[in-house]
Structure 1
Amino acid sequence: MKEEMLFLYPPFDFLLNILGFVFFLIDVVLDICTVVDFYQKQEFVSMGVLIFLLLGSSTLLQVFSWLWYSYSTEQERSNLSQAIYLEKYFKNRRVLKALHVCQVGVFLRFIGVMEISLRNLASHSALREGIAVYLTHDLSLLRLIETFTESVPQLALMIAVIAIKGNLEWMTGLKTLGSFVTIAFSVVTYHRSMRNFTQRKSQLTWPSSVVYFLWNLFLIAPRVAVVGLVGSTLPEVMAAHFIGLWIALFVWAWLQKTDFMEDKVWEWLYRATVALIWYFSWFNVSKGRSKGRSVLYHSIMAVDMALLLVLWWWWEGSQDAQIFGVPVMVGFASVAALYCSGILGKLLYYRLCHPRKLSDDEDEEKAPACYVYDEVDLPMPPVQTHLLVVLPKPLPLTAAQKRMQKMAGHFFS
């Protein structure tokens, strides 16, 4: 029998989190500057859509962050109080809730990750290492949700603005670049956070993270471009399309019987959020082999984008129509080629880089086991004596461990 996995928090991942935090702050500044720029130019529709995306995404993140804090057990709170100085906020539910109402709960998570990571680098501790891993995991998942509820829709909005104006202004260009960087970091950090849940860490190296980002980019970019292009010409149709497809995707998430949240009522919010993510990108949320679901999803998205492009071309009613300065047929071919490249990249990634099993003698669908020994919140190796292997009796999984276990099970299925 092999040893259980030990959670390790590499210093380079800490540096990645710092860089991600810096870009997060830059993106906030760019959001404010873009809103001001729209206001000064009296582009109130674009300004209203952007404000709606910012407030809606921020509120959604704060709700998830607060719920995950409220799910924490007394043992988790005790571990936090031993590991970081911010325990007064984690212990005081009223203060913590007020911070989330004020839209700064995610900032608190960033600060907590930075603090425990720095303390762990100065003095390595198994306790701090384990807590740093699951705090980073929660943060990376929140950033992923933020990406597909704010940054990706913003990118579609910026593309629509560029298509309407016919030229690229400096502020629109900066905001487009900022959204792109946010997408890149959220995808890569999520991939890196999953690395802690497999013994085959050699297969989840930085090159594999780059490949993971590239195929996601090649699949997301044409989807965003099509949504932005059609939205620039047929905004009402695009709004109706989004609502209709989101409802269908929400029903699909419900049919997959997701069980990520502790409370069944809030599970519906999670399913609604999954449907938002699915509108732009695939995200596995249920147990079992995901190949069939992934093939079905990408087929539907390919047909959907083709229909949207045909609708846009028919509405333009001209053979001389152009997409961002290039002939329409060249634009259509570029979207198709990019999407096919993303599919090919995804196949190569899962063929060469992605570990299908968490260990050699575990089933593919089984999530990694996380045990709690006293107040140490991470897996422990077995104690081997001659030919006998004795495993300590594990305590029940904490809320944070359940989240990590479920997400890892979905990621590696």
Structure 2
Amino acid sequence: MMFESADISMLRLLETFLKSAPQLVLQLSIMVQQNSVEPLQGLSASASLLSLAWMIASYQKVLRDSREDKMPMSYKGAVVQILWHLFTIAARAIAFALFASVFQLYFGIFIVTHWCIMTFWIIQGETDFCMSKWEEIIYNMVVGIIYIFCWFNVKEGRSRYRMGIYYVITLSENAALTVLWFLYYDRKTTSDFDALILVCVVSSSFALGIFFMFIYYCLLHPNGPMFGHLPRKKYPAWDAHFIDRRLRKTILALGHAAPSTPRLQYRTPGAPQELLEYETTV
């Protein structure tokens, strides 16, 4: 049930980024163009931003709770991780909104290009979430949408170098988008003082997000700064789940060639009788 809960949290995370993230950028872009913020607009944008940060931290906590080879995440760590993603996504979304308010066509080209590069990067990482190859590619394409807005680890092992590369790219893109907007924004609707405030909001929000990221990894990470990854072979529950996923993939592959649905049978080491039999449908 905990493994299924982690998979459901992943699906909710994907749904949130497919719905709330584009809505957030659209709302912020309208606010920038109108140079005004209605109470309902501000509340809706804040709710979208909070839901994005909340779902990432929630998925990470549920994932760690479902795996015995991972130390559980504390609630303090979850709160700090929410703040980390809250400020980095806010900086990213505001930079997108500023650029899109002036360069609509080029913004679309930029988003598609960034998504293609991130999707290719994820595919090269060889993730293992779905049962079939094509389902895994579609999953990687959807995760690439998350990478438009924030970092999301989808590969086992140490991620500090990949995360560092991602945030260097994100910082460069945020700076370029904000500078281009500052050079070409409509000075009839937005004053120079308001423009400087928006630039400071983007930079300070990203800096706060990186600050909370360091707080999380230095003080509140479940494994701690002095510990590495625990050996997986000591945890039979995760081994059983990992082997079961491999077996299900094999069954699905055989199902395309076999005339009837294959069956998988479990036996106990000491008893000859069958305990459980189930079918995997294609």
Shorter-chain TM-score tier: 0.7 to 0.9
Q: Alignment partner for residue 150 of structure 2, among 265, 273, 281?
A: 281
Alignment of 1:330-341 (within 5 A): 330-341=197-208
SS of 2:243 mapped into structure 1: coil
Q: Where does residue 112 of structure 2 map in the other structure?
A: 243
Identity of aligned residues (%): 27
1:397 paired to 2:264: no
Relative distance call for 1:342 and 1:273 in structure 2 (3 A) is same
1:136 paired to 2:40: no
Relative distance call for 1:151 and 1:162 in structure 2 (3 A) is same
Alignment of 1:170-209 (within 5 A): 170-196=39-65, 197=67, 204-209=73-78
Aligned partner letter, 2:244: T
Deviations 1:42-97 (A, max 9, x none): xxxxxxxxxxxxxxxxxxxxxxxxxxxxxxxxxxxxxxxxxxxxxxxxxxxxxxxx
Alignment of 1:12-411 (within 5 A): 131=1, 133-196=2-65, 197=67, 204-316=73-185, 321-322=190-191, 326-356=193-223, 363-364=229-230, 366=232, 369-371=235-237, 397-399=243-245
Aligned partner letter, 1:230: F
8 A Cα contact 1:134 1:400, kept in partner: no
Following the alignment from structure 2 to structure 1, what is the Cα–Cα distance between the partners of residues 70 and 138? 33
Following the alignment from structure 1 to structure 2, what is the Cα–Cα distance between the partners of residues 231 and 364? 45
8 A Cα contact 1:287 1:365, kept in partner: no
Return the offset for 1:214: 0.4
SS of 2:153 mapped into structure 1: coil
Aligned partner letter, 2:214: L
8 A Cα contact 2:61 2:78, kept in partner: yes
Following the alignment from structure 2 to structure 1, what is the Cα–Cα distance between the partners of residues 197 and 240? 60
Return the offset for 1:339: 0.8
8 A Cα contact 1:370 1:397, kept in partner: no
8 A Cα contact 1:246 1:276, kept in partner: yes
SS of 1:259 mapped into structure 2: coil
Aligned partner letter, 1:342: G
Aligned partner letter, 1:353: L
Return the offset for 1:398: 3.0
Return the offset for 1:278: 0.5
Relative distance call for 1:396 and 1:160 in structure 2 (3 A) is closer
Q: What TM-score comes out, normalization by structure 1 length?
A: 0.53
Q: Which runs of 5+ in 1 are unaligned?
A: 1-130, 372-378, 380-392, 403-413
Deviations 1:353-401 (A, max 9, x none): 11238xx8x8457488453xxxxxxx7xxxxxxxxxxxxx969733499
8 A Cα contact 1:148 1:277, kept in partner: yes
Aligned partner letter, 2:159: S
Q: Which runs of 5+ in 2 are unaligned?
A: 249-282
8 A Cα contact 2:92 2:149, kept in partner: yes
Following the alignment from structure 1 to structure 2, what is the Cα–Cα distance between the partners of residues 200 and 286? 14
Relative distance call for 1:401 and 1:194 in structure 2 (3 A) is farther
Deviations 1:320-368 (A, max 9, x none): 9548xx53233222211221121121111011111238xx8x8457488
Q: CA RMSD in A?
A: 3.2
Aligned partner letter, 1:215: W
Aligned partner letter, 1:350: Y
Aligned partner letter, 1:258: T
Return the offset for 1:154: 0.9
Q: What TM-score comes out, normalization by structure 2 length?
A: 0.76
* Larger mean Cα displacement after TM superposition, 251-260 or 235-244: 251-260
Aligned partner letter, 2:208: S
Following the alignment from structure 2 to structure 1, what is the Cα–Cα distance between the partners of residues 89 and 79? 15
Report the number of matched residues: 246
Following the alignment from structure 1 to structure 2, what is the Cα–Cα distance between the partners of residues 172 and 250? 32
SS of 2:101 mapped into structure 1: helix
Deviations 1:282-320 (A, max 9, x none): 011223311111111000000001111111122227599
